[in-house]
Amino acid sequence: MMRQNELIERVTQYDPDANEALLNRAYVYAMKAHDNQKRASGDPYFSHPLEVAAILTDLKLDDATIAAALLHDTIEDTQATRAEIDELFGDEIGRLVDGLTKIKKIDLVTKKAEQAENFRKLLVAITTDIRVLLVKLADRLHNMRTLQYVRPGTRTRIAEETMDIYAPLAGRMGMQWMREELEDLAFHWLNGDAYDTVVERLKMLRTSHRDLIEEIKSTLSENLENSGISATVSGREKKPYSIWRKMERKQISLEQLSDIYAFRVVVGSVQDCYSVIGVVHTNWRMVPGRFKDYISNSKQNDYQSIHTTIVGPGHSRVELQVRTEEMHRVAEHGVAAHSRYKENSGSKANAHVRSQESNAYQWLQTLVEMLLEGDNPEEFLEHTKLELFHDQVFCFTPKGLLIALPRGANPIDFAYAVHTDVGNHCVGCKINGRHVPLISELRNGDEVEILVSDAQTPPPAWENLAITGKARSAIRRATRHAIRKQYNELGRQILKRAFSRIDRDYDDEILTASLHRLSQKTVEDVLSAVGRGELASADVIAAAFPEAKQAREEPPKRRQVQRHDEGWFNLRKVIGLKFRLPGGSSSDMSSKVNGIPIRGHKGDLPVRFSEGAAIPGDRIVGILTPGEGIMIYPIHSPKLKEFDDESERWIDVTWDIDETNAERFPARIEITGLNEPGTLAQIARVIGEADGNIDNVKMIHRAPDFTIMVIELEVWDLRHLNEIISGLRAQSVVNSVSRAKS
């Protein structure tokens, strides 16, 4: 276990002005507080916070963070209190320790829904001060290093949690070395056989490639020196999990991997970085498609380097990273490089504020803003994992603005990355000047122009097409808003009709005065509840006009009409529908209220079509189903009998077909035809020549001389369907044709 003076010496090596008295007090206080506590390994518990502090000294963090690391378990696991910590060490350290205590209470290894909600709490906690996250990551790293002492079941859950959340989070914060170690440790416990196999193979390759590695390093150093470039060249072997993931992704064996070793060149300036690339590509052949300039286009976690792959000595592929010393520091320490004090930084107060210079930290804050907007926790966790793991592509707006997106993103993601309003009004896109579908995958360097229209709203299906959590979240919000607006309009139509029945004019002010009786906060809430069927219009009238109760309770006169052969049914609520009565007369049930238009069968209102397959030209009626919207039935549907005594559910609807955007509708016909070869072919030919589209054919009865079949097809409207039926009746192999009943 590290001694007190060793810890102080580690801190003062990079920060000579560190408050040694503070660190000494924190060391002694934590050691006494944990006293006789033991870890699962049998070691003194104090060894854990001490190791966490040691990890943070490698990141060269300030004395307050080191002190908080020493104290991070005291409030949770000892008799220490927040007030006592504040009194002895100050408010700043007290806040850090309290934040870490709250995180420790979060259990991320529970079932999925709880894990998602706890992850939200975790991110909210760590965005209050980035140093809380740094201590938490160091805490997790030491726990993973000692995971062998934990029970197998708990060990697996902790390893999964580390692989899913903490490792990618460390990577997003730019702390690549920590991500790699966390992944390797988790990989070891989650897939031990694969881990051992990769490690053994690496040992063999290490022995056989030792001379090759030294040859590459010396040749590269010599070439750079001859070109007058001062550089430090180092080689490293890729981590087992990194290799395994690449094998899985590319479906290749370890022997087929050609870039197991990576070499790093560190130089003094950005200009030298590009000079190195010139020397390298002059002496060795570059592998096409393997050059990436993260200096010109840095990653969201502030990572900067130039990556290239060359065919080096022995025809071996060599991966090369070129960066400056400052870039190397940021690459190693990530967001921590923005959080520590610099010699010329002046006052040390509020040093964590400087962490906001980090793009990685800004990404984290944006993520938290998204989750605070109320998305489903499980969806948020799923989308966040996607963003944590994805590599990036870099695209540009027509004005040259750089947009970084996860690999696999499409123009929908790009539009929402530019601005939420751009995404919501997106109607198309151009990539590199050419019109392309919105589902096209973006590539590095693409120039993307988003075409917008104020009349556009995002279709709900876009949520399944988008890759980024930001886009999916915005699409869900827009969809919820659109649905609420639709229900509001539907509720308003229902109430206008209800008010007219008692000879009153509808007015929002009437509802405003009745909100307390309806237990609703706003007029919009009332309208939405009525539209969804959760609040009956009769209850609204009772609240708005108590004097109308008696009149409302009097049974209305039932007006009945007879349908051809379906018996009697009640049409007193089908207001505004014109239909033909038996005997040839026409009737208009009301002239006061217009019908609610239905745009197509996939329309803007929350509607669904019954199995009866209504098509434009059919007379239709809507039945309101609470929580589901409106079900549309053709006027001849026998199903309508079931709603005779539920007058409040009958909604007047009319067709509203967009002539400029033709759409087919499903219909079903029943055909009785001769049971002989060629009958089905003739039927299909007639339908095809009439521009009908067959979806399905089902034989419902077969006899030696005839067959009864039901054909599901798509037509433009009722006239189109009748033309098809007439054409079929003219065929000698067809005995009868009619529309199929439900």
pLDDT of amino acid 335: 72
CATH (domain of 329)? 3.30.460.10
Question: Mean pLDDT across the stretch 166-183?
Answer: 86
Model confidence at 598: pLDDT above 60: no
Give residue 641's pLDDT band: very low, low, confident or very high (50, 70, 90).
Answer: confident
Range with the largest mean pLDDT of 616-630, 657-671, 720-734: 720-734
Range with the largest mean pLDDT of 54-68, 519-533, 570-584, 587-601: 54-68
Q: What is the pLDDT of residues 387-407, one digit of tens each?
A: 555 556 778 888 878 787 887
Determine the distance from the C-alpha atom of residue 425 to the mean position of all C-alpha atoms in its chain, rounded to a whole number: 19
Say whether both 140 and 27 belong to one domain: yes
Give residue 333's pLDDT band: very low, low, confident or very high (50, 70, 90).
Answer: confident
Residue 402 in domain: no
Print the domain residue range for 300.
197-338
Q: Are 652 and 576 in contact (CB under 8 A)?
A: yes
pLDDT of amino acid 216: 85
Q: Could you say which of 605, 634, 655 is where a domain stops?
A: 655
Q: What is the spatial distance between Cα 662 and Cα 483, in angstroms, rounded to a whole number? A: 24
Question: Mean pLDDT across the stretch 520-549?
Answer: 82
Say whether both 161 and 44 belong to one domain: yes
pLDDT of amino acid 604: 47
Residue 390 in domain: no
Q: Could you say which of 629, 655, 681 is where a domain stops?
A: 655
Residue 356 in domain: no
Residue 327 in domain: yes
Give residue 172's pLDDT band: very low, low, confident or very high (50, 70, 90).
Answer: confident
User: Strands (DSSP E) along 402-507, which ranges?
Assistant: 402-406, 426-431, 434-436, 448-452
Full 3-state SS string of 209-255: CHHHHHHHHHHHHHHHHHCCCCCEEEEEECCHHHHHHHHHHHCCCHH
Question: Mean pLDDT across the stretch 172-184?
Answer: 88
Q: What is the pLDDT of residues 226-236, one digit of tens each?
A: 999 999 998 88
Of the chain, the percentage scoring pLDDT greater than 90 comes to: 31
Give residue 115's pLDDT band: very low, low, confident or very high (50, 70, 90).
Answer: low
Say whether both 327 and 234 belong to one domain: yes
Q: What is the spatial distance between Cα 688 and Cα 669, in angstroms, rounded to a whole number? A: 15
Q: What is the spatial distance between Cα 440 and Cα 457, in angstroms, rounded to a whole number? A: 20
Say whether both 118 and 144 belong to one domain: yes
Among 484, 574, 562, which residue's Cα sits nearest to residue 529? 484
Q: If you ran DSSP here, which 8-state letter would residue 676 be given?
A: S
Model confidence at 557: pLDDT above 60: no
Model confidence at 412: pLDDT above 80: yes
Q: What is the spatial distance between Cα 162 and Cα 108, in angstroms, rounded to a whole number? A: 10
Model confidence at 571: pLDDT above 60: no
Give whole-number Cα distances, 200 to 191, 211, 236, 237, 245, in Å. 14, 19, 17, 14, 16
Our count of domains for the chain comes to: 5
Residue 442 in domain: no
Give residue 666's pLDDT band: very low, low, confident or very high (50, 70, 90).
Answer: confident
Q: Are 170 and 182 in contact (CB under 8 A)?
A: yes
Say whether both 106 and 163 belong to one domain: yes
Structure tokens at 283: 């002496």
Say whether both 505 and 579 belong to one domain: no
CATH (domain of 78)? 1.10.3210.10
CATH (domain of 721)? 3.30.70.260
Q: How many CA atoms lie within 13 A of 494 on its CB side?
A: 32
Residue 365 in domain: no
pLDDT of amino acid 652: 72
Say whether both 620 and 676 belong to one domain: no
Residue 404 in domain: no
Active site residues: 76-77
Give residue 280's pLDDT band: very low, low, confident or very high (50, 70, 90).
Answer: very high
Say whether both 11 and 29 belong to one domain: yes
Q: What is the pLDDT of residues 435-490, one digit of tens each?
A: 999 999 998 778 999 999 988 889 888 988 998 878 888 898 888 888 888 788 88
pLDDT of amino acid 451: 94
* Residue 446, φ and ψ in degrees, nearest 5: -65, 140
Say whether both 173 and 85 belong to one domain: yes
Question: Mean pLDDT across the stretch 729-742?
Answer: 86
Residue 85 in domain: yes
Model confidence at 348: pLDDT above 80: no
Q: Could you say which of 655, 682, 716 is where a domain stops?
A: 655
Q: What is the pLDDT of residues 78-87, one digit of tens each?
A: 889 999 999 9
Average pLDDT, the chain: 79
Say whether both 539 and 574 belong to one domain: no
Sequence letter at residue 336: A
Say whether both 540 and 604 belong to one domain: no
Model confidence at 585: pLDDT above 90: no
Q: What is the spatial distance between Cα 71 and Cα 75, in angstroms, rounded to a whole number? A: 8
Q: Among 17-21, 186-190, 601-605, whose mean pLDDT is lowest?
A: 601-605
pLDDT of amino acid 721: 92
Model confidence at 259: pLDDT above 60: yes
Give residue 296's pLDDT band: very low, low, confident or very high (50, 70, 90).
Answer: confident
Say whether both 585 and 694 belong to one domain: no
Model confidence at 109: pLDDT above 70: no
Structure tokens at 309: 């792959």
Model confidence at 373: pLDDT above 50: yes
Question: Mean pLDDT across the stretch 687-702?
Answer: 91
Question: Mean pLDDT across the stretch 208-229?
Answer: 85
Model confidence at 561: pLDDT above 50: no
Q: Among 238-247, 321-330, 639-648, whose mean pLDDT is lowest?
A: 639-648
pTM above 0.85, yes or no: no
